[in-house]
Amino acid sequence: MNMKKVLLVATVQSHIAQFHRPLAEVLHEHGYEVHVAANDNLHLKNGLKLDFADKVYNVPFSRSPKSLDNITAYKRLKQILDNEHYEVVHCNTPMGGIVTRLAAREARNKRGTKVFYTAHGFHFYEGASKLSWMTYYPIERYFSKMTDKLITITTEDYKLATDKFYCPIEHMHGVGVNGERYYKCTEEEKIALREKMGYANKQKLILCIGELNQNKNQTMAIEAMHKVVKKYPDALLILAGNGPREASLKDFVHQEGLESNVQMIGYVTNLEDYQHIVDVQVCCSKREGLPLNVVESMLSGNPVVASMNRGHRELIKDGSTGFLVAVDDSETMAEKILLLLQNEEVKSSIETEALKFAQQYTFVNVKKELECIYELSR
């Protein structure tokens, strides 16, 4: 008897490795083989693995719609779909979603393969540019005709897609965060881990996570440090991530005279250790779908100060589960950081509310939602 199979597709393999372990585990529990098709970029990701996949195909997707690589990816994917009979093809990311749904038309129409698409954050949303709406909205609406289930992870996307698109729309609370990795540790554990990692016990530590690119906007966090350092001279901003702006950010730190107060640690696979030792997390991006690092911070008992965007609004109720400030308003960001560092009552209240709120985004809850979406019975 042939085992049931699901193909997970994204532009790059790191996307599947980072975000779809819970789905793979649910599918394995219900007797499915899990295959992956995406561009192999794992060598850039410092030990990130697809160890949960039963078979991995290297398919040369490109994020750029103009790249001819996507024609090659289409042909390769169609060949895979012809050779394998999948019950579900589950695609992600804009170009991964478009190329996959085109390649899967025959499998869907002739062999009954279901096509699912997870929208990790539409490019069109309240506040997005007219160009984004004109470019991306018609495309996503049209391709919903080739989709059996469209899965949204923000309420704004869910409401819009439900009103405007042609296929059934599902909503789930992100892709899941491991509550066994991200949890609120004791003060004793925090002190011991700080010592082990080389940080002083009383030093104020601020964490900023994300690829070093224009959108993640780390310059905002760096600028905010001027005001923080006046109150806490040894305060340290830890930037976790790699990316195209690494050199320019190092230059900016030097230009601002903050070499002693900003540490760039690159791409690390032990982010939970940093979540367990820091005092505050800051998130400065201009755009977000649903940022997992905010949930990870909430589960770890760290308050978050974040820029105002669609993804951060989804997770943070200003003054209750964190603080929201305008994009590039580093002055107000610094004020909120200092409030959290100086006022234990405010900090404790936000940590408590955020921890309760974040429970719906854990692996445990998201796995239940995935079982419902895939119609898998216990």
Please give the pLDDT value at position 144. Answer: 96
Whether residue 96 sits in one domain with residue 13? yes
Beta partners for 55?
A: 35
Whether residue 119 sits in one domain with residue 14? yes
Whether residue 22 sits in one domain with residue 158? yes
Please give the pLDDT value at position 378. Answer: 56
CATH of the domain at 282: 3.40.50.2000
Residues spanned by the domain of 133: 4-176+362-373
Please give the pLDDT value at position 44. Answer: 83
CA distance linking residue 368 with residue 378, whole number of Å? 10
- Is 254 part of a structural domain of the chain? yes
Whether residue 96 sits in one domain with residue 10? yes
- Is 182 part of a structural domain of the chain? no
- Is 333 part of a structural domain of the chain? yes
> Are 207 and 238 contacting, i.e. CB atoms less than 8 angstroms apart?
yes
Whether residue 210 sits in one domain with residue 171? no
Whether residue 285 sits in one domain with residue 214? yes
Please give the pLDDT value at position 300. Answer: 97
Whether residue 250 sits in one domain with residue 300? yes
Locate 318 and state its tokens: 């200003």
- Is 18 part of a structural domain of the chain? yes
For CA atoms 87, 74, 24, 54, the dihedral sign is positive
Please give the pLDDT value at position 1. Answer: 47
- Is 181 part of a structural domain of the chain? no
- Is 378 part of a structural domain of the chain? no
- Is 226 part of a structural domain of the chain? yes
Whether residue 195 sits in one domain with residue 127? no
Q: How many helices (H) and strands (E) does the chain have?
A: 16, 13
Q: What is the total count of domains within the chain?
A: 2
Task: Tell me the per-residue pLDDT of 211-242, one tens digit each, with 9 for 90 and over.
Answer: 999 999 999 999 999 999 999 999 999 999 99
Whether residue 100 sits in one domain with residue 206? no
Whether residue 350 sits in one domain with residue 367? no
Please give the pLDDT value at position 351. Answer: 97
CA distance linking residue 320 with residue 343, whole number of Å? 14
Whether residue 167 sits in one domain with residue 210? no
In the block, residue with structure tokens 């085109």: 102
Task: Tell me the per-residue pLDDT of 50-61, one tens digit each, with 9 for 90 and over.
Answer: 999 999 999 999
| pLDDT under 70: residue ranges of the chain | 1-2, 377-378
Task: Tell me the per-residue pLDDT of 169-187, one tens digit each, with 9 for 90 and over.
Answer: 999 999 899 999 999 999 9
Instruction: Quote the pTM value.
Output: 0.83
